[in-house]
Structures are given as structure tokens and as C-alpha cells.
Amino acid sequence: MAADSSFDVVSKIDRQEVDNALNQAAKEIAQRYDFKGVGASIAWSGESILMVANSAERVKAIYDVFQSKLIRRDVSLKAIDVGDGEPQPSGKEYRLAGALKEGLSQENAKKITKLIRDEGPKGVKTQIQGEEVRVSSKSRNDLQSVIALLKGADIDAALQFVNYR
């Protein structure tokens, strides 16, 4: 009797890559002509990322630069939560804070297990373990199809698949 094969669905962020993307964005913002003299900056603010400029449009432009740097470093944009994406006025400047989302929330974990139960192959078992979901099956082909299903699903988290055995 063959043992079950399994993998874990997790949502983790490589903080070093985010930090590198932030440093690249800060360097580009410091050098670009359209950001000269407008108080434009991007920096860590505790556990979140703070983007500041003197107009809402410039803050959105800073966010676009940061997103392009994240994409280039293979960091999912779902890993950063900026709320509604609208910069908030704060005195004479506009601010936009982006928090890093790490770990699967209970509602996302339930959404993943329900999706696998409803649309995945029969005989695949799921189990929520804290901030990750363990998926197991006797067939490795079923696990591959579950990974393909989850990659195509609209889940509000950056998913990675680890511990495939």
C-alpha cells in the first residue's frame, strides 16, 4: 500500500526581495525628473510601506514604480495590501500605506478547501493547519491538478506550494 503524497499551500513573502524592490524604487524616485522637488519618497514604516508626495497622482505614480520593481523580483502584488488604493491627505502631503500580507487567513483557507472539494479530483483530502492548508492524495497526478486549479483560482493571497512529497 503506497503512502499518501501531499503538499502545503502557504502564503509567504520573501522580505529581502520586498526590501530590494523598495530600495530600487526609492533610488528611481530620487533620480526621476518628474519626482524632483515634490517631496516624493517611499520607505518602511514599521511593518508597512509608506509612500509620500505632494499630490495624489504622484503617490499613485510612486506606487506604480514600486509595483514594477516587485514584479521584476517575482513578488506577487497580492502580498501587498494598500486598502482602497486612494492616497490619504495628511497636512500638505498625501500618503499611501501598504501592509504586507503573510499567512493564509481563515477565510482564504476555507475558500481553498471548499474550491478543492467542489472542483478538485475525488480522493483529495484537505486539512487546515494554522496559516497553511495541507493537501494530500494517493495520486501525485491529482495533486498536480489541484496545484493547477489553485493557480487559476481567484484567491486574495499570494500562494506558494511547499513540502511536495
Whichever domain contains 128, its CATH number is: 3.30.70.860
pTM (2 decimals)?
0.83
Residue 1 — very low, low, confident or very high, per pLDDT cuts 50/70/90? very low
Domain boundary residue, one of 100, 115, 136: 100
High-pLDDT (> 90) share of the chain, %: 55
Strand ranges inside the chain, DSSP E = 5-10, 41-45, 48-53, 80-81, 88-90, 93-100, 125-129, 132-137, 160-162
48 and 114, same domain (yes or no)? no
Do residue 109 and residue 84 come from a single domain?
no
CA 47 – CA 31 distance, rounded (Å): 26
Domain containing 124: what range? 5-12+104-162
Last residue of a domain, one of 100, 129, 144: 100
Q: What is the rounded average pLDDT of the residues 5-9?
A: 90
Kindly tell me if the per-residue pLDDT of 18 is higher than 60.
yes
- Poorest-pLDDT segment among 2-6, 26-30, 42-46, 50-54: 2-6
Q: How many domains in the chain?
A: 2
Question: In terms of domains, do 91 and 155 share one?
Answer: no
- In the chain, DSSP finds a helix count (H) and a strand count (E) of 4, 9
Mean of the per-residue pLDDT values of the chain = 90
Are residues 78 and 36 both part of a single domain? yes
Cβ burial 20-38 (10 Å sphere, 16+ → b, else e) = bbbebbbebbeeeeebeeb
Residues 119, 65 share a domain: no
How many whole angstroms separate alpha carbon 146 and alpha carbon 153? Answer: 10
Asked which of 46, 79, 100 is the last residue of a domain, the reply is 100
Residues 89 and 124 in one domain: no
Q: How confident is the model at residue 79 (pLDDT cuts 50, 70, 90)?
A: confident
In this prediction, residue 37 carries a pLDDT of: 84
For residues 118 and 41, membership in a common domain is answered with: no
Q: Cell numbers at residue 148, please?
A: 493547477
> Phi-psi category of 135—alpha, beta or left, where left has phi over 0 and alpha has psi -120 to 50?
beta
**pLDDT over 50 (residue 123):** yes
Structure letter (DSSP) for residue 109? H
Residue with cell 481563515: 106
Residue 43 sits in the same domain as residue 110 = no
